[in-house]
Chain A
Amino acid sequence: MSEGNKLFGLDDIELIDQPTVYDKDLFKGKTVLISGGGTGIGRGIAVLYARLGASVVICGRRAEALEQTADLIRDNLGIEIRSHAMTIRDPQQVASLFDQVWDEFGRLDVLINNAGGQFGQDPIDYSVKGWNAVVDTNLNGTWYMMQTAARRWRDAGQAGNIINIVVNIHRGTLQATHSAAARAGVVYVSKSVAVEWAPLNIRVNCISPGAIASNGLRNYPREAAEKFKYANPMRLAGNVWDIAEACVYLGSGAGDFITGEVLSVDGGYQMLGEIWAQGEPDYFRQGRGASVK
C-alpha cells in the first residue's frame, strides 16, 4: 500500500492500471452520472465505471478539469465519456443536465453525487457567505440532483440508485463545521428518502470516506494535510480507488438489498484519529493532562 504514503495519491496512469476486484463487464449497458467527475475522487470513480463498461457522464464546474478526465479515459482506454460543465447549485442547470442525459441515453442507472467541498477555517471566524456557500453546494446542490433524478425515474418507470459521497461526520468534523452540518443533512435526507422512495425502486446510500490521498488535499495547508494519514488506526490514507470500488459495490447488483446505509471507508477513523483541516490547535497538542479544574 505504498500509495498510502503519497500525499496526493494515485496519479492518472496508476488509476488506469489499478487492478479491480470486479468482473470486467459489470456495467455494460448501464449509464452512470458522476458529479465532480473532473478531479480527485470523482475522476477515480469515472475511470473505474468506464473500465467496467458503463456509459459515463461527468459534470462539474470547470470544463477544463472535466476534459482532462475525458481525455485520460479516451487516450488510455479508448472509451468516450460525456462531460457537462455546470453547477449543481442551480436547479435549472441540474434540470438541463438531466435533459441531456435522458436525450442521449434514455436512462440513468446510477447517480453518484460526489461534487462538493469545503474550506478549512475555525468556525468562529466563518463569514455568512462562507457558511452559505458550503451548505448550498453540499446540501442544496446534492438535493437538487437527488430530487431531479427521482422525478425522472418515477416518470420513466425506471429503478434508480443514488450514492452520495459525504465526509465522515460521526464524531463531528474539525475546522469544517459547515461541512459537518451540510453532510449530516445529506446523510439524513438520504435515510428519509431511502424509505419514501423505496416504492419507486430507488435505493439511496452514502459513502463516508476518511482521509483519502487525492488532489483534493491541495485545498488544505500542506502541513495539515500531511498529518491526515495518521487520522485512523491503520495509520495510512486511503486512495480514490477505495472509494471508487465502494461506489461500484453499492451501484451494482451486490447492493440490491442495501438502502439507507452509510458505508464508511475510513481505515477506522470512526473509532480513532483526528483530522484538523487547518492543523491541530496548541490547546489539544499541549493540554492533555496538564490542568485540573
Chain B
Amino acid sequence: MTISDMNPEAVESWGMSNEEIAAYPTVYRDDLLAGKVVLIAGGDAGLGRATAYLCARLGGEVMICGPLQTELDATVQGVKQHLGRDIQAQAMRIHQPEAVDALLARVWQQFGKLDILVNSGGGGQTPGDAIDFSVEQWTDVVESKLNGCWYMMQKAAQRWREDEQAGSIVNLVADIWRGMPGLAHSCAADAGLVFAGNSLAVEWAPYNIRVNCVSHGTIARSDISPTGPDNSAELTRANPMLSCGDVMDIAEAVVYLAAPSGKFITGECLTVDGGQKLWGEVWPNGKPDYFATP
C-alpha cells in the first residue's frame, strides 16, 4: 500500500506530526550526538524520519536516504523548519550496490567519517497469503530489505575497517518472534537481518563495530503503514498494553543502542512492542475465520 491508496484524513489523524516529533520531550541530554555523523536509510519516512529528527535535535550530523526525492526534501525541510538544523539527503535504493557505494562516498566526502548507521529502509511489502505470493512479491521484499541492508552494513564496515574507525549499526526490524502471518516474506527478510547481525556482531567485534537491532511492534505512524490506520482498532489488540507505540519509542531505542549507553551491547535485538511477542495477534490481511474463537 502506498500513501496514495489511503484516505489522507485518516492518515493525518494517526500517529505523531512532524511538529510533535520535533517537540517530543526526549530522555537524552541535548548535546548527546554532537560531532557524530549518522546515516539513516529510510530516514524520509515513519520510524526512520523520527530517528532523523531526534538525531538532528541531539546535535548529530545527519544524512538520510530513501527512494523518493520528494519525501527526502520534505524531511530536510521539516527538520530545518521545526529544529533549525540542516540535514543532508540522497535519493537512492539500498538494494543497488553501486548506489550504496555512491551514497557512502558522499558521506565520507562530506563528513570524513561515519559513526552510526541506521537501517530503516527497504520493505515496501504488501500483506498477503503466503500460498499465493508471486515469485516477485517474495524476491522484492527479500531483495529490498535483507539484501539492501546487507549492502549498507558490509560497505560501511569495509570503510570503517579501512579507516580504523569504530562504528555502530542499528537495524530496524518487525516483531518477528512468533512469526508474522500475512507477512511471511517480510518476516523471513527481517529474521535474516537479525541473525546476519548476530553473526556480524562477533565477526566485526575486532573492528570495534557493534551491530544491534530494534524490533518494533505496532507503531502509530502518520504516513505509510502496510497495516494502515483503518486497522488501528484491530491493532490495539496486538499486545497486552492494548495500544500502539509511537515513533519516538523507536527513535529513542535506536539512540540508546547507538550512544555510549550501548557501548557494551552488541548482537542484541531490543524489542519495543508493548509485549506483543508474548500476547496479541496482528492480522494485516484480516483474521481468517478458521482462527475465530467459538
- Inter-chain CA distance A266–B271, complex, in Å, is 16
The reply to whether A210 and B266 contact each other, CB–CB distance below 8 Å, is: no
The answer, yes or no, to whether B260 is at the interface (CB within 8 Å) is yes
The answer, yes or no, to whether A238 is at the interface (CB within 8 Å) is yes
Question: Closest CB of chain B to A43's CB: distance in Å?
Answer: 18
The answer, yes or no, to whether B1 is at the interface (CB within 8 Å) is no
The answer, yes or no, to whether A148 is at the interface (CB within 8 Å) is no
The answer, yes or no, to whether A191 is at the interface (CB within 8 Å) is yes
Question: Closest CB of chain B to A172's CB: distance in Å?
Answer: 17
The answer, yes or no, to whether A245 is at the interface (CB within 8 Å) is yes
- Chain A residue numbers with a CB within 8 Å of B26 are 23, 254
The answer, yes or no, to whether A260 is at the interface (CB within 8 Å) is yes
Question: Closest CB of chain B to A103's CB: distance in Å?
Answer: 30
The reply to whether B268 and A234 contact each other, CB–CB distance below 8 Å, is: no
The reply to whether A271 and B30 contact each other, CB–CB distance below 8 Å, is: no
The answer, yes or no, to whether B279 is at the interface (CB within 8 Å) is yes
- Inter-chain CA distance A20–B26, complex, in Å, is 14
- Inter-chain CA distance A163–B11, complex, in Å, is 36
The reply to whether B249 and A234 contact each other, CB–CB distance below 8 Å, is: no
- Known contacts A257-B217, A271-B267; A19 and B274 CB within 8 A of each other: no
The reply to whether A254 and B205 contact each other, CB–CB distance below 8 Å, is: no
The reply to whether B275 and A259 contact each other, CB–CB distance below 8 Å, is: yes
The answer, yes or no, to whether A67 is at the interface (CB within 8 Å) is no
- Chain B residue numbers with a CB within 8 Å of A246 are 261
The answer, yes or no, to whether B263 is at the interface (CB within 8 Å) is yes
- Chain B residue numbers with a CB within 8 Å of A249 are 27, 256, 261
The answer, yes or no, to whether B259 is at the interface (CB within 8 Å) is yes
Question: Closest CB of chain A to B265's CB: distance in Å?
Answer: 5
The reply to whether B261 and A261 contact each other, CB–CB distance below 8 Å, is: no
Per-position 1/0 for B17-32, Cβ under 8 A of A: 0000000011111101
The reply to whether A21 and B270 contact each other, CB–CB distance below 8 Å, is: no
The reply to whether B205 and A270 contact each other, CB–CB distance below 8 Å, is: no
Interface residues of A in 236-266 (CB under 8 A from B): 236, 238-239, 242, 245-246, 248-249, 252-254, 256-261, 263-266
> How many residue-residue contacts, CB under 8 A, span A and B?
128
- Chain A residue numbers with a CB within 8 Å of B199 are 271
The reply to whether B217 and A194 contact each other, CB–CB distance below 8 Å, is: no
- Chain B residue numbers with a CB within 8 Å of A263 are 268, 270
The answer, yes or no, to whether B173 is at the interface (CB within 8 Å) is no
Question: Closest CB of chain B to A149's CB: distance in Å?
Answer: 18
- Inter-chain CA distance A245–B194, complex, in Å, is 24
Question: Closest CB of chain A to B58's CB: distance in Å?
Answer: 9
Question: Closest CB of chain B to A99's CB: distance in Å?
Answer: 29
Question: Closest CB of chain A to B106's CB: distance in Å?
Answer: 29
The reply to whether A198 and B241 contact each other, CB–CB distance below 8 Å, is: yes
- Chain A residue numbers with a CB within 8 Å of B259 are 21
- Chain A residue numbers with a CB within 8 Å of B263 are 1, 242
- Chain A residue numbers with a CB within 8 Å of B240 are 194-195, 198-199, 259-260
- Chain B residue numbers with a CB within 8 Å of A266 are 264-265, 268
Question: Closest CB of chain B to A248's CB: distance in Å?
Answer: 8
- Known contacts A23-B27, A253-B27; A259 and B260 CB within 8 A of each other: no
Question: Closest CB of chain A to B129's CB: distance in Å?
Answer: 29
The reply to whether A234 and B28 contact each other, CB–CB distance below 8 Å, is: no
The residue that A256 contacts in the complex, of B29, B201, B249, B270, with Cβ under 8 A, is B249
- Chain A residue numbers with a CB within 8 Å of B172 are none
- Inter-chain CA distance A253–B26, complex, in Å, is 8
- Chain B residue numbers with a CB within 8 Å of A264 are 265, 268
Per-position 1/0 for B240-259, Cβ under 8 A of A: 11110110010011011001
- Chain A residue numbers with a CB within 8 Å of B242 are 198
- Chain A residue numbers with a CB within 8 Å of B249 are 254, 256-258
Residue positions of B touching A, CB distance < 8 A: 25-30, 32, 198-199, 201-202, 205-206, 217, 239-243, 245-246, 249, 252-253, 255-256, 259-261, 263-268, 270-275, 277-279
Residue positions of A touching B, CB distance < 8 A: 1, 19-24, 26, 191, 194-195, 198-199, 210, 232-236, 238-239, 242, 245-246, 248-249, 252-254, 256-261, 263-268, 270-272
A to B CB contacts below 8 Å, 12 in the list: A20-B29, A23-B27, A210-B264, A233-B201, A233-B206, A234-B205, A256-B245, A257-B272, A258-B272, A260-B278, A261-B271, A268-B267
- Given A248-B27, A257-B243, 6 extra CB contacts under 8 A: A21-B32, A23-B30, A258-B270, A259-B241, A266-B268, A271-B267
